Amino acid sequence: MKTRIIFLTITVFMAGILLTGCGEKSKQDAKEVKEDLKELNKDLKQGAKDTAEEIKIAVNNEWQKFKTASESAIENTEKEIKDLREKISKTNKKEREKFTKQLDELEQRNIILKDKLNVRTRKFKENMIEFNEKAKDSEKEFEREFDRDMQELSNALKDLFKDNVD
Protein backbone atom coordinates (compact mmCIF):
# COMPACT_ATOMS: atom_id res chain seq x y z
CA MET A 1 0.00 0.00 0.00
CA LYS A 2 2.86 2.36 0.81
CA THR A 3 4.30 1.64 -2.60
CA ARG A 4 1.06 2.63 -4.25
CA ILE A 5 0.88 5.85 -2.27
CA ILE A 6 4.51 6.67 -3.04
CA PHE A 7 3.97 5.76 -6.71
CA LEU A 8 0.77 7.85 -6.82
CA THR A 9 2.51 10.77 -5.09
CA ILE A 10 5.44 10.62 -7.51
CA THR A 11 3.06 10.40 -10.49
CA VAL A 12 1.02 13.38 -9.31
CA PHE A 13 4.21 15.33 -8.61
CA MET A 14 5.59 14.53 -12.11
CA ALA A 15 2.28 15.44 -13.74
CA GLY A 16 2.28 18.73 -11.84
CA ILE A 17 5.81 19.52 -13.01
CA LEU A 18 4.93 18.70 -16.61
CA LEU A 19 1.76 20.78 -16.56
CA THR A 20 3.49 23.72 -14.94
CA GLY A 21 6.40 23.52 -17.38
CA CYS A 22 4.11 23.29 -20.40
CA GLY A 23 2.04 26.22 -19.18
CA GLU A 24 5.12 28.47 -19.01
CA LYS A 25 6.25 27.35 -22.45
CA SER A 26 2.79 28.01 -23.88
CA LYS A 27 2.73 31.49 -22.39
CA GLN A 28 6.16 32.25 -23.78
CA ASP A 29 5.16 30.87 -27.19
CA ALA A 30 2.03 33.04 -27.13
CA LYS A 31 4.12 36.13 -26.37
CA GLU A 32 6.50 35.30 -29.23
CA VAL A 33 3.57 34.81 -31.61
CA LYS A 34 2.12 38.20 -30.59
CA GLU A 35 5.50 39.88 -31.12
CA ASP A 36 5.90 38.17 -34.50
CA LEU A 37 2.40 39.26 -35.45
CA LYS A 38 3.14 42.87 -34.50
CA GLU A 39 6.34 42.77 -36.55
CA LEU A 40 4.49 41.24 -39.49
CA ASN A 41 1.82 43.98 -39.34
CA LYS A 42 4.54 46.63 -39.34
CA ASP A 43 6.17 44.98 -42.35
CA LEU A 44 2.83 44.77 -44.18
CA LYS A 45 2.06 48.43 -43.52
CA GLN A 46 5.52 49.47 -44.72
CA GLY A 47 5.17 47.24 -47.79
CA ALA A 48 1.80 48.79 -48.62
CA LYS A 49 3.27 52.27 -48.17
CA ASP A 50 6.22 51.43 -50.43
CA THR A 51 3.94 49.93 -53.07
CA ALA A 52 1.68 52.98 -53.02
CA GLU A 53 4.72 55.23 -53.47
CA GLU A 54 5.96 53.14 -56.41
CA ILE A 55 2.52 53.25 -58.01
CA LYS A 56 2.37 57.01 -57.49
CA ILE A 57 5.73 57.51 -59.20
CA ALA A 58 4.79 55.22 -62.11
CA VAL A 59 1.38 56.82 -62.62
CA ASN A 60 2.86 60.34 -62.43
CA ASN A 61 5.56 59.48 -64.98
CA GLU A 62 3.03 57.98 -67.37
CA TRP A 63 0.74 60.97 -66.82
CA GLN A 64 3.48 63.45 -67.74
CA LYS A 65 4.13 61.60 -71.01
CA PHE A 66 0.43 61.45 -71.80
CA LYS A 67 -0.12 65.10 -70.84
CA THR A 68 2.70 66.27 -73.10
CA ALA A 69 1.40 64.25 -76.05
CA SER A 70 -2.18 65.41 -75.43
CA GLU A 71 -1.23 69.08 -75.16
CA SER A 72 0.63 68.76 -78.45
CA ALA A 73 -2.43 67.16 -80.07
CA ILE A 74 -4.68 69.94 -78.75
CA GLU A 75 -2.31 72.60 -80.10
CA ASN A 76 -2.29 70.88 -83.50
CA THR A 77 -6.08 70.79 -83.46
CA GLU A 78 -6.20 74.50 -82.64
CA LYS A 79 -3.89 75.23 -85.58
CA GLU A 80 -6.02 73.07 -87.85
CA ILE A 81 -9.16 74.94 -86.72
CA LYS A 82 -7.44 78.25 -87.44
CA ASP A 83 -6.43 77.04 -90.91
CA LEU A 84 -9.96 75.83 -91.60
CA ARG A 85 -11.38 79.21 -90.53
CA GLU A 86 -9.17 80.86 -93.15
CA LYS A 87 -10.29 78.34 -95.75
CA ILE A 88 -13.94 78.89 -94.80
CA SER A 89 -13.58 82.65 -95.12
CA LYS A 90 -12.89 82.14 -98.82
CA THR A 91 -16.13 80.25 -99.48
CA ASN A 92 -19.49 81.77 -100.41
CA LYS A 93 -21.78 83.15 -97.71
CA LYS A 94 -24.15 80.16 -97.50
CA GLU A 95 -21.34 77.63 -97.15
CA ARG A 96 -19.43 79.95 -94.83
CA GLU A 97 -22.32 80.03 -92.35
CA LYS A 98 -22.74 76.27 -92.51
CA PHE A 99 -19.02 75.51 -92.14
CA THR A 100 -18.58 78.13 -89.43
CA LYS A 101 -21.36 76.57 -87.37
CA GLN A 102 -19.85 73.10 -87.73
CA LEU A 103 -16.37 74.38 -86.98
CA ASP A 104 -17.63 76.25 -83.90
CA GLU A 105 -19.04 72.97 -82.59
CA LEU A 106 -15.73 71.18 -83.22
CA GLU A 107 -13.81 74.01 -81.61
CA GLN A 108 -16.07 73.74 -78.56
CA ARG A 109 -15.30 70.01 -78.33
CA ASN A 110 -11.59 70.86 -78.45
CA ILE A 111 -12.03 73.37 -75.61
CA ILE A 112 -13.88 70.76 -73.55
CA LEU A 113 -11.04 68.26 -74.07
CA LYS A 114 -8.49 70.90 -73.12
CA ASP A 115 -10.44 71.67 -69.93
CA LYS A 116 -10.74 67.97 -69.15
CA LEU A 117 -6.96 67.62 -69.43
CA ASN A 118 -6.40 70.70 -67.25
CA VAL A 119 -8.76 69.40 -64.54
CA ARG A 120 -6.96 66.06 -64.48
CA THR A 121 -3.58 67.82 -64.33
CA ARG A 122 -4.77 69.93 -61.40
CA LYS A 123 -5.87 66.76 -59.58
CA PHE A 124 -2.38 65.35 -60.04
CA LYS A 125 -0.72 68.52 -58.81
CA GLU A 126 -2.94 68.72 -55.75
CA ASN A 127 -2.56 64.97 -54.99
CA MET A 128 -6.31 64.49 -55.14
CA ILE A 129 -5.89 61.10 -56.81
CA GLU A 130 -5.54 58.05 -54.57
CA PHE A 131 -2.58 56.08 -55.84
CA ASN A 132 -3.17 52.33 -55.83
CA GLU A 133 -3.68 49.60 -58.40
CA LYS A 134 -7.14 50.99 -59.13
CA ALA A 135 -5.54 54.37 -59.89
CA LYS A 136 -3.46 52.79 -62.64
CA ASP A 137 -6.57 51.33 -64.23
CA SER A 138 -8.44 54.60 -63.82
CA GLU A 139 -5.66 56.54 -65.53
CA LYS A 140 -5.50 54.06 -68.40
CA GLU A 141 -9.27 54.38 -68.84
CA PHE A 142 -9.05 58.20 -68.82
CA GLU A 143 -6.24 58.11 -71.38
CA ARG A 144 -8.16 55.71 -73.66
CA GLU A 145 -11.30 57.89 -73.52
CA PHE A 146 -9.32 61.08 -74.08
CA ASP A 147 -7.41 59.60 -77.03
CA ARG A 148 -10.64 58.31 -78.56
CA ASP A 149 -12.27 61.76 -78.19
CA MET A 150 -9.21 63.47 -79.71
CA GLN A 151 -9.22 61.00 -82.62
CA GLU A 152 -12.93 61.61 -83.24
CA LEU A 153 -12.35 65.38 -83.21
CA SER A 154 -9.41 65.06 -85.57
CA ASN A 155 -11.43 62.92 -87.97
CA ALA A 156 -14.34 65.34 -87.83
CA LEU A 157 -12.03 68.25 -88.71
CA LYS A 158 -10.55 66.33 -91.63
CA ASP A 159 -14.00 65.40 -92.87
CA LEU A 160 -15.45 68.90 -92.52
CA PHE A 161 -15.12 69.75 -96.20
CA LYS A 162 -15.43 66.16 -97.45
CA ASP A 163 -18.95 65.71 -96.06
CA ASN A 164 -20.17 68.97 -97.57
CA VAL A 165 -19.03 68.60 -101.15
CA ASP A 166 -22.02 68.68 -103.50
Say if 88 falls within a structural domain.
Answer: yes
Question: Quick one: pLDDT at residue 134?
Answer: 75
Residue 28 pLDDT grade (very low, low, confident, very high; cuts 50, 70, 90): confident
Q: 65-84: b or e for each residue (b if 16 or more CB lie within 10 Å)? A: ebbeebeebbeebeebbeeb
Say if 90 falls within a structural domain.
Answer: yes
Per the structure, how many domains does the chain have?
1
CA distance 30 to 33: 5
State which residues form the domain around 82: 62-166
Question: Quick one: pLDDT at residue 69?
Answer: 92
Say if 135 falls within a structural domain.
Answer: yes
93-125 and 2-89 helices, crossing angle to 10°: 150
Say if 149 falls within a structural domain.
Answer: yes
- pLDDT tens digits, one per residue of 106-150: 899 999 999 999 998 888 777 766 666 677 788 888 899 999 999
- pLDDT tens digits, one per residue of 38-94: 777 777 777 777 777 787 788 788 888 989 999 999 999 999 989 988 988 888 888
Say if 107 falls within a structural domain.
Answer: yes
CA distance 152 to 139: 20
Q: What is the mean pLDDT of the chain?
A: 80
CA distance 45 to 49: 6
Say if 123 falls within a structural domain.
Answer: yes
Say if 3 falls within a structural domain.
Answer: no
Q: What's the Cα-to-Cα distance from 158 to each of 7, 90, 96, 151, rounded to whole Å?
A: 105, 18, 17, 11
